Amino acid sequence: MEATYLYIILNVAYAVTSAGVFNYRKAVNGSVLLNVCRTEEDDTIHWKFQENFLIIEGHLLRSELNESLHLLQNKSLYIQPISLLNIGKYECIKNHETLLTYFLDVEVPPTLSMTVDGHSYHDTGDTLYIPYNKTIPASCYATGSRPAVNLSITVDNEEISPSYINTTTNASLNGTTFDSRILFSLQTEEETGHVTCHCNGFSYFSEQRLIVSYSTYGKKVLLIPSFYTLKI
C-alpha cells in the first residue's frame, strides 16, 4: 500500500503518492490561479481535464475554455478568469506518467433578496411597510451560490430561533450552484427597525448581509378628551 501524507495550508491540500502529487485547491469566481508543473524546458507535457486531454503539445482542445486557460513557457497552466467551467481535476502528464494532479473548486457568492408579505427587496437600505403587531409571512433567498450557504434571520438584532424557521436548499440544473431559502414569520410591536438576512459558509468571503428597514402602520393611538386635561 502506497504511503500518503496530507498537508492543509490556506485551503490548499495536497497528498504525496507514488503516482505524483495531488493538490486540492479552492478559488474565488473571477480570480486567477496558476497550476504549476515543473519540468525541463524541452520536456513534452500534456494536460488532462476531467480525464480527457486538454492540452497536447501546446494545443488547447477545449474551445469553451479558450478564454481562461493559458499554457506558459514553463508548461504551467494559468487560469484567468476562473469560472464554474474550470471546476474539476487537472493532470500534468509526462511520458504517460502523471506528475501532478490538481482538483479545483470555485466559490461563488449568492445574490440575496427578501420577500415580505408578497413584496420583494434586493438592496440594503430598502424600507418595507408592515402592519403593527400582526404576523406576516417572510422569506430570504440566497441564489446562485457555491457551496450551499447557511442562512439566518435577525429582527432588531435578535435572531429568530431555528425552531421557528424553515430552510430549503436546491441544486441548480447543472448541479454546480445552489439556491437556498429560509421561511419565517415576522411580527413586531416596534414602530421602526430592521430585518437582516445573514449568509455564511464560505472560506474566502466574510458574512454577507441584506438589511431591510421596516416601518409599521395601523397602531391604535389613545386619544384623551380635552376635558380630562389637567389644569394647573
Q: Domain end: 41, 73, 107, which one?
A: 107
Closest CA to 30 of 82, 69, 87: 82
Q: Please check whether residues 39 and 74 belong to one and the same domain.
A: yes
Q: Which of 90, 107, 124 is the last residue of a domain?
A: 107
Whichever domain contains 156, its CATH number is 2.60.40.10
Tell whether 143 is covered by a domain.
yes
Q: Do 213 and 115 have their domain in common?
A: yes
153-173 per-position pLDDT tens digit: 999 999 999 999 999 999 986
What value does the mean pLDDT take over residues 184-196? 90
pLDDT at 15 > cutoff 70: no
92 & 128 share domain = no
Is pLDDT of 144 > 50? yes
Judge whether 124 lies within some domain. yes
Whole-number Å distance between alpha carbons of 31 and 107: 10
Q: Could you count the other beta carbons within 10 Å of the beta carbon of residue 226?
A: 6
Same-domain check for residues 57 and 144:
no
User: Looking at the predicted structure, is the pLDDT value of residue 229 above 50?
Assistant: no
Rg of the chain in Å (alpha carbons): 27
Do 123 and 84 share a domain, yes or no? Answer: no
Phi, psi of 51 (to 5 degrees): 75, -5
230 in a structural domain: no
**Model confidence pLDDT, tens digit, residues 33-65:** 999 987 776 788 899 999 899 988 888 888 888
pTM over 0.75: yes
My answer on whether 53 and 130 are in the same domain is: no
- Looking at the structure of the chain, the number of domains it has is 2
Looking at residue 35, what is its pLDDT?
92
Tell me how crowded residue 152 is: count the other CB atoms within 10 A of its CB.
Answer: 18
Query: What integer best gives the mean pLDDT of the chain?
Result: 84
Specify whether 125 is located in the same domain as 94: no
Domain span including residue 34 = 5-107
3-state secondary structure the chain: CCCCEEEEECCEEEEEECCEEEEEEEEECCCCEEECCCCCCCCCCEEEECCEEEEECCEECCHHHCCCEEECCCCCEEECCCCHHHCEEEEEEECCEEEEEEEEEEEECCEEEEEECCEEECCCCCEEEEECCCCEEEEEEEEEEECCCEEEEEECCEECCHHHCEEEEEECCCCCCEEEEEEEEECCCCCEEEEEEEEECCCCCCCEEEEEEEEEECCCCCCCCHHHCCCC
Last residue within a domain, chosen from 82, 107, 132: 107
> Across residues 115-124, what is the average pLDDT?
93
